[in-house]
Amino acid sequence: MMDLRELYQDIILDHGQRPRNKHAMEAPSHFANGHNPLCGDKITIYLKMEGDRIVDVSFEGRGCAISTASASLMTEILKGKTEAEAQQLFHAFQAKVTGGEAPAPDEALEEDFERLDPLSGVKAYPVRVKCATLPWRALEAALKSGAIGATVKTE
């Protein structure tokens, strides 16, 4: 049996209980809702893009420690990134938590990507992987849909 502390590392508990960038955004250029029907968790991701650069990002919603921490960490590393960089991080992160394969992100993104390491504990808990990826999937939907908004579901 895996030690629970591998899943609930201090970083996760900290970001789960004191999430950063958790607030609504006025006039976002992009936003989307993420919904996990399995547990009822809901999250909204807001982006402010200038050109193809994310100048501001925030989220709102209610979720478990894993999804909240994942959203919080995600918003911290996304500020200032381009859309292409965000996509790279999304695919690499998905591979990290599912044990799948994806190209490693560019060298310039390495440090940011390492900040997501504490979330890799969910790999041992297949039903919880969706908690960690929900904010990222909402991000991807937001990038696609722009100011019209969209809703993605994990199921």
Partner 1 sequence: MTTSAKLREIVPSDAFDPRRIRRDFPIFENNPGIVFLDTAASAQKPASVIDGIAEFYRRDYANVHRGVYRLSARSTELYEEAREKVRSFLNAEDSSEIVFVRGATEAINLVANTWGSAFLKAGDEVVLTELEHHSNIVPWQMLRERNGIKLVVVPIEATGGLDMVALERLIGPRTKLVAVTHLANATGALLPVEKIVKLAHEEGAKVLIDGCQAAPRMALDVRALDADFYAFSGHKTYGPSGIGVLYGKRALLDAMPPWQGGGDMILTVNFDETTYQETPHKFEAGTPDISGAIGLGMAIDYIEAIGRNRIQDHEEKLTGYGVDVISAMEGVRLIPAGQRRLGVLSFDVENVHPHDLATILDQHQVAVRAGHHCAQPLMDKLDLAATARASFGIYNDESDVDALAAAIKAAQEMFAR
| Candidates 4-12, 50-58, 71-79, 87-95; binding stretch for partner 1 (CB under 8 A) | 4-12
- Residue 30 CB, shortest distance to partner 1, in Å, is 24
11 binds partner 1 (CB under 8 A): no
Q: Is 84 helix (H, G, I), strand (E, B) or coil?
A: helix
CB-side exposure of 134: number of CA atoms within 13 Å? 37
34 binds partner 1 (CB under 8 A): no
Q: Decide: residue 74, CB within 10 A, 0-12 exposed, 13-18 middle, 19+ buried.
A: buried
Nearest 10 degrees: Cα torsion 87, 93, 99, 104: 70
115 binds partner 1 (CB under 8 A): no
Residues of this chain that interact with partner 1 (CB under 8 A) are 1, 4, 7-8, 13-14, 16-17, 38-42, 62-66, 68, 125, 128, 131
